[in-house]
Amino acid sequence: MTISTSEPLHPDKVFVQRHPAHFIAFGGGAGLSPVAPGTAGTLAAFPLFWLLDYFLDPVEFLLLIIALFIIGIWACSVTGKALGDDDHGGMVWDEVVAFLLVLVFTPNSLIWQAFAFLLFRLFDIIKPPPIRYYDNKLHGGFGAMFDDMLAAFFTLLCLAAWKAFVI
């Protein structure tokens, strides 16, 4: 990790607006939340999903998520270097993109989406194996993005098991 003294370690609105990568990495400003920025980023995915789901079919949505993941690698890499922290807590684009993926495969009801939200936040915060392993081993923009995709995968596994065996 390299630390840049030209940028603040505690980013603010000016930092987020300074570069498109910062704006993206901070989820349009959701990552500036003083309390639980990752949760704020995950919540920001809801209105984005509801809007995009209206216009895109599932294949188009998945292709968009792939593009957003690739853009996120770039944005988190640039922003992480500027902050001297590969996975700064305010960089929430990884939560936004990963939770969009969860929502694409979650039944379209508020109760399912609420449980998906809770499970995703649980996996993202606790980071059970192998999520913690990859969170520690992978760095840069890809590392910032990848561990949240694993949390999304675990969330979807739990939802699928719940649907198959409980309902």
Task: Identify the band that residue 67 occupies on the pLDDT scale cut at 50, 70 and 90.
Answer: very high
Rg (CA), the chain: 16
Residue 80 belongs to some domain of the structure? yes
The answer to whether residue 151 is domain-embedded is yes
- Asked if the structure places residue 79 within a domain, the reply is yes
Averaged pLDDT for residues 7-17: 83
pLDDT tens by residue, 110-164: 999 999 999 999 999 999 999 999 999 999 999 999 999 999 999 999 999 999 9
Section 25-29 average pLDDT: 97
Residue 128 lies in a domain: yes
Predicted confidence at residue 123, as pLDDT, reads 98
- Residue-averaged pLDDT of the chain: 94
Is 50 a domain residue?
yes
Q: Give phi and psi for 65, each to the nearest 5.
A: -65, -40
pLDDT at 7 over 50: no
C-alpha span between 71 and 62 (Å, rounded): 14
Give residue 117's domain range: 13-162
pLDDT at 3: 45
Q: What is the pTM of this model?
A: 0.92
Do the Cβ atoms of 77 and 70 come closer than 8 Å? no
> 5 lies in a domain?
no
The CB density around residue 114, as the number of other CB atoms within 10 Å, is 11
- Asked whether residue 4 is domain-assigned, the answer is no
- Total domains in the chain come to 1
Cα–Cα distances (Å) from 158 to 117, 133, 145, in that order, read 12, 20, 21
State the amino acid at position 81 in one-letter form: K
Examine residue 167 and state whether it is found in any structural domain, yes or no: no
pLDDT band at 63, cuts 50/70/90?
Answer: very high
The pLDDT tens digits for 83-98 are 999 999 999 999 999 9
Contact 9, 82 (CB under 8 A): no
Split at pLDDT 50, 70, 90, the class of 10 is confident
